[in-house]
């Protein structure tokens, strides 16, 4: 059961998403810490790194990261030992990330477009994915062996 989450986001993220995340988590009695960027850089690797520092310094047990597509934040989050991050696009993915991988970081693409493709995040769907994630319980059993294999790879 999660007790404290760190949230971080880049300049492209509409604050309505941050407010929705806070609402969902506080309704679940989860403390929320928001990493406020100083405005000097909006590079997602630095934002994710600073969020992870806040996570460690404050004894948090979960993170939610947002950027345009979510892809960059997810890649960076998975570089930190002990962080198992998922870029979920459905409630089922968020649910199974908790049950099977004991994921502790949820990433969203909050919106981005070019001349060919668009990423768009529905605030209600995001809320349901967060609920599926925080309500999920790690199954243990055969998944523990796999998580230990991941730890071994991290330590190489």
User: Among the options 11, 52, 95, 100, which is catalytic?
Assistant: 100
Contact between 18 and 9 (Cβ < 8 Å): yes
Nearest of 55, 1, 53, 5 to residue 26 by alpha carbon: 5
Distance in angstroms (rounded) separating the CA atoms of residues 8 and 113: 21
Rounded to 10 degrees, the C-alpha dihedral 133/12/22/37 comes to: 110
Distance CA 52, CA 38 (A): 16
Task: Decide if 100 is catalytic.
Answer: yes
What are the residue numbers of the active site?
100
């Amino acid at each position: 059961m999660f007790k404290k989450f760190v949230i971080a986001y880049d300049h492209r993220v509409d604050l309505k998403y941050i407010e929705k995340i806070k609402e969902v988590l506080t309704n679940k009695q989860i403390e929320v810490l928001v990493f406020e960027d100083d405005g000097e850089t909006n590079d997602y690797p630095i934002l994710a790194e600073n969020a992870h520092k806040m996570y460690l310094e404050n004894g948090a047990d979960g993170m939610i990261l947002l950027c345009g597509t979510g892809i960059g934040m997810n890649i960076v989050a998975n570089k930190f030992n002990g962080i198992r991050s998922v870029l979920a696009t459905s409630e089922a993915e968020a649910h199974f990330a908790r049950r099977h991988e004991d994921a502790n970081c949820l990433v969203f693409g909050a919106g981005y477009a070019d001349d060919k493709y668009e990423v768009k995040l529905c605030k209600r769907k995001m809320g349901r994915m967060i609920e599926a994630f925080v309500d999920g319980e790690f199954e243990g059993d055969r998944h523990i062996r796999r998580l230990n294999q991941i730890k071994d790879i991290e330590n190489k």
